[in-house]
Amino acid sequence: MSELNEWFAEAPANIALVKYMGKLPGNLAVNPSLSYSSSAFKTEVSLRRTTKSYDFMEFDNKETLLDAKESKRFLDHLKYIKCFFGYDGFFSVISKNNFPPSCGLASSASSFAALTLAASKAITEIKKISEPSMSELASLSRNGSGSSCRSFFSPWSIWEGEQVKPLKLDNLDIDHYVVVVTSAKKLVSSSEAHLRVRSSSLFAGRVDRAKSRLELLVSALGDNRWRDCYNLVWADFWDMHAMFETSTPGFGYMTADTMTVLSYIRNYWHVNNDGPLITLDAGPNIHLLFRQNQIEIKREILKELKKRFKILG
């Protein structure tokens, strides 16, 4: 029980296997996406009532510190939620990730989802009103961070237009790892990437390609056709990164180490006809998704990669 003083919520990070790149008004995506939310990576948010006449951030340590722009964006979203509920009180906010920044996980997704959950819980309890449904909360959260709406439905979700929904996949348990090839801050932010890709000649057909891959991937996941899943996920992240490289001005995130890991996983599949799904977002670090019955495959691959890279998961 919060005793009307402090409220806590947490939300998982998610990684898209069919990406969205390009935004519409209302923080909507130009194409549907499919994601996996990992319980291994999450953000915790605590809200405390304050007698001050403004909302503010608190930080436990330097690792959780947000810069002024990030803090403002976070607190602007809290203000948006308070307006939605018609609440005029104020909170101090503590946000903490259990994963480091710049590691290849979009912390905005999990952090905005956790903030939305915590704020909804706090305000509805204070005002003694009913909480919105999970779909309504996902929609609220999307206004702060588009991809955060997918973190409300774990482990699998599909986001298309204004609707995000869970994807039920029986008997498909996943182990998710991140290969950190660099912790350097990106020179081109994800928000900037969403703008620049529209100048790519590949952008015109992106919606149709993404829709087709999503339909095929849902079918392959449901039938446990893992090789087909690997091929579709591989093709989709390359599609996105090709748009980056062919934008005006062009830009890219992959490093020589990124290519080393990609080549290693592709060769592993070629030799063994099995392996993890592999993807990366708008950044150089790599996500590996293993089936839980791939114990020896996972052990072998992670042992090899740990010789050179930090592995999270």
159-183 pLDDT, tens digit each: 999 999 999 998 899 999 999 999 8
- Which pLDDT score, from 0 to 100, does residue 234 have? 98
Q: What is the pTM of this model?
A: 0.93
Residue where the block lists tokens 């008997």: 171
Q: What is the pLDDT of residue 295?
A: 97
pLDDT single digits (tens) 211-254: 999 999 999 999 999 999 999 999 999 999 999 999 999 999 99
Q: What is the pLDDT of residues 113-143, one digit of tens each?
A: 999 999 999 999 999 999 999 999 999 999 9
User: What is the biggest distance separating any 2 CA atoms in the chain, rounded to whole angstroms?
Assistant: 63
In angstroms, rounded to a whole number, what is the distance separating the alpha carbons of residues 216 and 229?
Answer: 8
Which residues is 157 bridged to in the sheet?
A: 35, 166
Comparing C-alpha atoms, which of 165, 76, 85, 90 is closest to residue 120? 85
Cis peptide before 249 (omega within 30 of 0): yes
pLDDT band at 102 (very low <50, low <70, confident <90, very high): low
Task: Name the pLDDT band for 1 (thresholds 50, 70, 90).
Answer: very low
Query: How far is Cα 134 from Cα 153, in angstroms, rounded to an integer?
Result: 8
The percent of residues in the chain predicted with pLDDT above 90, rounded, is 86
Return the higher-pLDDT residue of 98 and 80. 80
pLDDT in tens, 18-74: 999 999 999 999 999 999 998 889 999 999 999 999 999 987 655 455 678 888 999
Q: Which residues of 228-246 are buried (b: 16+ CB within 10 A; e: fewer)?
A: ebbbbbbebbebbbebbee
* Rg, C-alpha atoms of the chain: 20
